[in-house]
Amino acid sequence: MTNKYVYLFSEGNASMRNLLGGKGANLAEMTNIGIPVPHGFTVTTEACTKYHEDGQSISKEILDQIYESLAKLEEATGKKFGDNTNPLLVSVRSGARVSMPGMMDTILNLGLNDIAVEALAKLTNNPRFAYDSYRRFIQMFSDVVMGIEKRLFENKIDEIKEKKGVEFDTELNADDLKTLVSQFKEIYKKEKGEEFPENPKVQLVESIKAVFRSWENPRAIVYRRLNDIPGEWGTAVNVQQMVFGNKGETSGTGVVFSRNPATGEKGIYGEYLMNAQGEDVVAGIRTPLPILKLREQDPVIYEQFENIVNTLEKHYKDMQDMEITIEEGKLYFLQTRNGKRTAQAALKIAVDLVEEGMLTKEEAILKVEPKQLDTLLHPTFYTEDLKNATPIAKGLPASPGAACGKIAFSADEAKERAALGEDVILVRLETSPEDIEGMIAAKGILTVRGGMTSHAAVVARGMGACCVAGCGAIKVDEEKRTVEANGKIYTSDDSISLDGTTGNVYGEKIKTVTPEILGHFATFMSWADEIRKLKVRANADSPRDAHQAVEFGAEGIGLCRTEHMFFAEDRIMAVRQMITSKDLEQRKVALAKILPMQKSDFIGIYEALEGKPVTIRLLDPPLHEFLPSADEDIKSLANEMRITFEELKSTVQDLHEFNPMMGHRGCRLAVTYPEIAEMQARAIIEAAIEVKKDKGYNIIPEIMIPLVGEIKELKYVKDVIVDTAKKVMEEKGVTLEYKVGTMIEIPRAALTADEIAKEAEFFSFGTNDLTQMTFGFSRDDAAKFLSAYYDKKIYEQDPFGKLDQTGVGSLIKIAVEKGKSTRPDIHLGICGEHGGDPSSIEFCHNIGLNYVSCSPFRVPLARLAAAQAQVKNKR
Ligand code: PEP
Ligand code: MG
């Protein structure tokens, strides 16, 4: 049986997204529900995968199917490829399963050659239009398909404009464009060593191959990694009859949304340009008009347009992002998709669609990307500081949030300076897909040109980065590296601030603040909480973080890293003294200093949690993070300890480890120095007794022993805790309930979890270490070589960011099963970084963990991801 690799739009439907890509599936769906869509066909994602598997070659089987569909397209349109009276012209566009804006390449006006262009000129009675289309096509084909530098063509356009003394492309006439066509062909011949292909079939096949190749271009790969899109999906290619928005004043093109993608406000929103092609709107070269103007310009078309927009929104039950073209008074929809939107808009739309009866709460929960919530938790300007600031310019509010940083003039510069820890704002005339890494690195993005649908705006919204676009009021000199605004010059040493919600630009530093969860956000999150089964806790080590976590909806603390309580300048000395003590006596002196600090922190945390559960982990410091290294630090510590500098320096050298991450840390520290565990257990229990007495909260501390690999070491440390707790309770004359459990972060612990569970009342999966130990990748060093693994497609994702469900996940499943076999009611959670990653959270839901724990800022994300996991996989 032969595989079907090509589908006419009339043969597909919306459910075939995996095979036809999002764009292809929606074009098919629109065709079938009677929306005016230009005819076309889709070459499947499987054809893309096969093309790459076959060593970047397109098989005869696929070619035959393309030609067969082309013949059907010619029949449906009554036009023919390369015809001298009625030529067929097509667009060739990529379309993956999920949309990747600006990431892949598009070719328009394909099918033009020396014969077809004359026919088009006659047919439209518009030679200027015909030759303009032709020169655009040669340019695009040469650049996108053949990799010839764009600049070579642009230079020729500039030359001819200069010669004629005109400013705009639109001022060139048919003869000028004809001259350009022949000059462009010469460039092609010179660069490629062969004539420009006049045969439209060759043009088509080469273009399809180029789209397939673009799936593997560096910016597509970066975008995929950023958005968790697997490389194996491939992209489909859509071949569609061209309709022209640049045929004169009754033609036009637009990009429209069924609701406002920045705010979520109900009502059609978008931009259009008469006498223009789609790229003119998207590239932001000419400034488009708001779509409502079309109502005045052509009420009949507008009404038809409005009806279709409403039909599409109801059909897809979501906000739609559509491309339209009007060709000589006839309206076409070139594509529709669920629109990208800001987090604010996503929440408003989800809540509104439930209130309008279009969606159930469960369906609405799936409409917001968990990672998007992040942007809402990001700073806004401090109101008092903002009051005193005056904007130096105003652009379009392209992506909300507030950002402040020094000016960077290129994506590379932004990337480099951000890597050195500097906050930067990327300032550009306009951005292009090559800029993606700089856009990720920058705190905010400011562009001079472009509308709400320009590249910078779309990509920034997708990433949740603050962006002000189309800010024509500033002058950027990329060569001199200056920004001129309001009569003043700013350089890379100057800070500016952007307000992506209003479009204001400020020539100074403005303090930012973290927002609260209110309005639609709060309503939406309350639905997520109703639905989810998985609890969400936070990793927090200070009363301040604990407060923040509770504010973001944490139901307790899943990991309090006690060693983090000692990073502060005034405390580290005591810890260093504890670590470098030569004997028990010296250590006890240090511990006596630490005990009251620990106790007061625990009191603060218990109070912030108001009785919610809290897991406190015993000290787990990789020694190298705490040891003094500078002579100065060693000297002052030696003074404090009343020993000589030399003596202490030699102790520090003795403590040096070759592999500190696998060294003297975790419970190994408590095994060698039980007095440390004793001090910590005392602080935990005493603080709980005090807060319970003073505030009446029922605190049940969960004491967690880290880095356990063997039941006997767990038992040893647990005995120290139990003895100490007993002693404290006797001293205070009260009883207090508490729990002792362990982290599972060493493969041996997972494999022997049935034994470990006999002593542990709970497990918390420390997937940072478990990943490190399972892969044998050092947590500290892996980043240095992992990029080579991504480039070579050995791994697509950082296993420290997204749980490796196959390997590390298997160990977790084994531990859950074995743990339950000896302690059926064992309480289970995760506290590694993966506890804040949506796909990892879904995994935790599916294997039946009780909770996930993540950093406070990821708590809302985790609440939503847990609800989505429940909707997708009922538990
Ligand atoms: C872990 O290993 O996953 C963990 C949470 O502990 P830490 O990151 O402190 O080693
Ligand atoms: Mg760990």
Instruction: Name the most confidently modeled range: 160-169, 401-410, 787-796.
Output: 401-410
CB of 240 within 8 A of CB of 90?
yes
Q: Which atom of ligand 1 is nearest to the CA of 559?
A: 5
Burial class (CB in 10 A: 0-12, 13-18, 19+), 364: buried
**Whether residue 38 has pLDDT greater than 80:** yes
The DSSP secondary-structure symbol of 167 reads: S
Q: Looking at this protein, which amino acid is placed at residue 42?
A: T
Q: Identify whether 240 is part of a domain.
A: no
The number of CA neighbours under 13 Å toward the Cβ of 17 is 9
Q: Considering only CA atoms, which residue is closest to atom 1 of ligand 1?
A: 766
* pLDDT over 90, % of the chain: 71
**Whether residue 278 has pLDDT greater than 90:** no
**Whether residue 164 has pLDDT greater than 70:** yes
**Whether residue 459 has pLDDT greater than 80:** no
Same domain, 471 and 556: no
855 lines ligand 1 (CB under 6 A): no
Same domain, 599 and 450: no
Ligand number nearest CA of 561 is: 1
453 CA to centre of own chain: 19
**Whether residue 503 has pLDDT greater than 70:** yes
Q: Identify whether 420 is part of a domain.
A: yes
Same domain, 608 and 684: yes
Same domain, 453 and 563: no
Compute the distance from residue 769 Cα to the ligand 2 centre, in Å: 5
Residue with tokens 């033009």: 112
Instruction: Name the most confidently modeled range: 140-144, 684-688, 775-779.
Output: 684-688
**Whether residue 531 has pLDDT greater than 90:** yes
831 lines ligand 1 (CB under 6 A): yes
CB of 751 within 8 A of CB of 811?
yes
Interval 216-235: pLDDT, tens: 888 888 888 878 888 889 99
For residue 286, the domain's CATH number is 3.30.470.20
| Residue-level pLDDT at 87 | 95
Burial class (CB in 10 A: 0-12, 13-18, 19+), 33: middle
The DSSP secondary-structure symbol of 505 reads: E
The number of CA neighbours under 13 Å toward the Cβ of 164 is 18
Where does the pLDDT of residue 283 fall: very low under 50, low under 70, confident under 90, or very high at 90 and above? low
Q: Measure the CA–CA gap between 101 and 95, rounded to whole angstroms.
A: 10
Same domain, 462 and 545: no
Interval 561-608: pLDDT, tens: 998 887 666 677 888 888 888 888 989 999 999 999 999 999 999 999
Identify the domain containing residue 326 by its residue range.
Answer: 252-338
For residue 482, the domain's CATH number is 3.50.30.10
> Mean pLDDT across the stretch 779-806?
86
Structural domain total, the chain: 3
Q: Identify whether 159 is part of a domain.
A: no
Task: Please choose from 564, 743, 744 the residue to mutate so as to test ligand 1's pocket, defined by most ligand atoms within 8 A of CB.
Answer: 743
Same domain, 720 and 813: yes
| Residue-level pLDDT at 464 | 64
| Residue-level pLDDT at 101 | 66
Task: Please choose from 745, 812, 844 the residue to mutate so as to test ligand 1's pocket, defined by most ligand atoms within 8 A of CB.
Answer: 745
> Mean pLDDT across the stretch 34-56?
96
Q: Measure the CA–CA gap between 802 and 808, rounded to whole angstroms.
A: 11
Q: Report residue 556 as tokens.
A: 């307790």
Q: Which residues, listed in sequence order, are joined to residue 331 by a DSSP beta bridge? A: 326
Q: Identify whether 12 is part of a domain.
A: no
Q: Measure the CA–CA gap between 187 and 183, rounded to whole angstroms.
A: 6
Q: Considering only CA atoms, which residue is closest to atom 4 of ligand 1?
A: 766
Q: Measure the CA–CA gap between 11 and 28, rounded to whole angstroms.
A: 7
Same domain, 298 and 391: no
Q: Considering only CA atoms, which residue is closest to atom 9 of ligand 1?
A: 561
CB of 427 within 8 A of CB of 415?
no
Choose one of 309, 338, 367: the last residue of a domain. 338
558 lines ligand 1 (CB under 6 A): no
Q: Identify whether 234 is part of a domain.
A: no
| Residue-level pLDDT at 866 | 98
Q: Among candidates 413, 415, 406, 411, which has minimal Cα distance to 492?
A: 406
Q: Which atom of ligand 1 is nearest to the CA of 764?
A: 5
| Residue-level pLDDT at 856 | 86
| Residue-level pLDDT at 516 | 76
Q: DSSP readout, 346-379? A: HHHHHHHHHHTTSS-HHHHHTTS-HHHHHHHTS-
**Whether residue 207 has pLDDT greater than 80:** yes
Beta carbons within 8 Å of 614's beta carbon, 6+ residues apart: 556, 557, 560, 605, 606, 699, 701, 702
24 lines ligand 1 (CB under 6 A): no
Q: Which residues are annotated as a binding site?
A: 561, 617, 745, 766-769
Ligand number nearest CA of 771 is: 1
Interval 406-446: pLDDT, tens: 999 999 999 999 988 899 999 999 887 778 889 989 999 99
Where does the pLDDT of residue 104 fall: very low under 50, low under 70, confident under 90, or very high at 90 and above? low
**Whether residue 394 has pLDDT greater than 70:** yes
**Whether residue 659 has pLDDT greater than 90:** no
Same domain, 493 and 538: no
Q: Measure the CA–CA gap between 305 and 324, rounded to whole angstroms.
A: 9
Compute the distance from residue 672 Cα to the ligand 1 centre, in Å: 21
Compute the distance from residue 603 Cα to the ligand 2 centre, in Å: 24
Q: Measure the CA–CA gap between 88 and 80, rounded to whole angstroms.
A: 5
> Mean pLDDT across the stretch 24-35?
95
| Residue-level pLDDT at 177 | 95
Task: Please choose from 620, 662, 770 the residue to mutate so as to test ligand 1's pocket, defined by most ligand atoms within 8 A of CB.
Answer: 620
Cross-sheet strand order for the sheet of 396-399: 391-394, 504-506, 495-499, 402-408, 424-428, 444-447, 466-469, 396-399
840 lines ligand 1 (CB under 6 A): no
Where does the pLDDT of residue 627 fall: very low under 50, low under 70, confident under 90, or very high at 90 and above? confident
Q: Report residue 844 as tokens.
A: 């935790």
Q: Measure the CA–CA gap between 408 and 447, rounded to whole angstroms.
A: 12
Interval 178-202: pLDDT, tens: 999 999 999 999 999 999 999 999 9
803 lines ligand 1 (CB under 6 A): no
| Residue-level pLDDT at 52 | 94
Q: Which residues are annotated as a binding site for substrate?
A: 561, 617, 745, 766-769
Where does the pLDDT of residue 757 fall: very low under 50, low under 70, confident under 90, or very high at 90 and above? very high
Q: Report residue 344 as tokens.
A: 């604010």
For residue 717, the domain's CATH number is 3.20.20.60
559 lines ligand 1 (CB under 6 A): yes
SS3 655: helix
Same domain, 717 and 757: yes
Compute the distance from residue 686 Cα to the ligand 2 centre, in Å: 26
Compute the distance from residue 551 Cα to the ligand 1 centre, in Å: 24
Q: Measure the CA–CA gap between 245 and 250, rounded to whole angstroms.
A: 8
Q: Measure the CA–CA gap between 421 and 436, rounded to whole angstroms.
A: 19
769 lines ligand 1 (CB under 6 A): yes
**Whether residue 708 has pLDDT greater than 90:** yes
Interval 333-349: pLDDT, tens: 998 999 989 888 999 99
Global model pTM greater than 0.85: no
The mean pLDDT of the chain is: 91
Q: Considering only CA atoms, which residue is closest to atom 6 of ligand 1?
A: 766
767 lines ligand 1 (CB under 6 A): yes
Q: Report residue 710 as tokens.
A: 């063997």
| Residue-level pLDDT at 568 | 62
Q: Where are the alpha helices (DSSP H) in 111-259?
A: 114-124, 127-140, 150-164, 174-192, 200-214, 218-226
Q: Which atom of ligand 1 is nearest to the CA of 706?
A: 6
**Whether residue 15 has pLDDT greater than 90:** yes
541 lines ligand 1 (CB under 6 A): no
Q: Measure the CA–CA gap between 214 and 52, rounded to whole angstroms.
A: 11
| Residue-level pLDDT at 517 | 81
Choose one of 281, 305, 338: the last residue of a domain. 338
Compute the distance from residue 556 Cα to the ligand 1 centre, in Å: 18
Q: Among candidates 290, 325, 285, which has minimal Cα distance to 169?
A: 285
Q: Considering only CA atoms, which residue is closest to atom 3 of ligand 1?
A: 766
Q: Identify whether 24 is part of a domain.
A: no
Same domain, 545 and 504: no
Distance between first and last Cα of the chain: 40
Q: Considering only CA atoms, which residue is closest to atom 10 of ligand 1?
A: 769
| Residue-level pLDDT at 610 | 94
The DSSP secondary-structure symbol of 474 reads: S
Q: Identify whether 365 is part of a domain.
A: no
Q: Measure the CA–CA gap between 326 and 438, rounded to whole angstroms.
A: 36
Task: Please choose from 561, 779, 780 the residue to mutate so as to test ligand 1's pocket, defined by most ligand atoms within 8 A of CB.
Answer: 561
Q: Identify whether 386 is part of a domain.
A: yes
Same domain, 723 and 782: yes
Q: Which atom of ligand 1 is nearest to the CA of 745?
A: 2
Q: Which atom of ligand 1 is nearest to the CA of 833?
A: 3
Q: Which residues are annotated as a binding site for Mg(2+)?
A: 745, 769
Same domain, 701 and 812: yes
Where does the pLDDT of residue 237 fall: very low under 50, low under 70, confident under 90, or very high at 90 and above? very high
Ligand number nearest CA of 767 is: 1
Compute the distance from residue 519 Cα to the ligand 1 centre, in Å: 35
774 lines ligand 1 (CB under 6 A): no
CB of 233 within 8 A of CB of 46?
no
Angle between helices 45-53 and 17-32 (to 10 degrees): 150
Q: Measure the CA–CA gap between 566 and 557, rounded to whole angstroms.
A: 19
> Mean pLDDT across the stretch 162-183?
91
**Whether residue 463 has pLDDT greater than 80:** no
Bigger pLDDT: 373 or 247? 373
Q: Where are the beta strands (DSSP E) in 638-725?
A: 702-705
Where does the pLDDT of residue 315 fall: very low under 50, low under 70, confident under 90, or very high at 90 and above? very high
676 lines ligand 1 (CB under 6 A): no
Choose one of 480, 513, 546: the last residue of a domain. 513
Active site residues: 455, 831
**Whether residue 138 has pLDDT greater than 70:** yes
Of 430-444, 475-489, 741-755, 833-847, the one with minimum mean pLDDT is 430-444
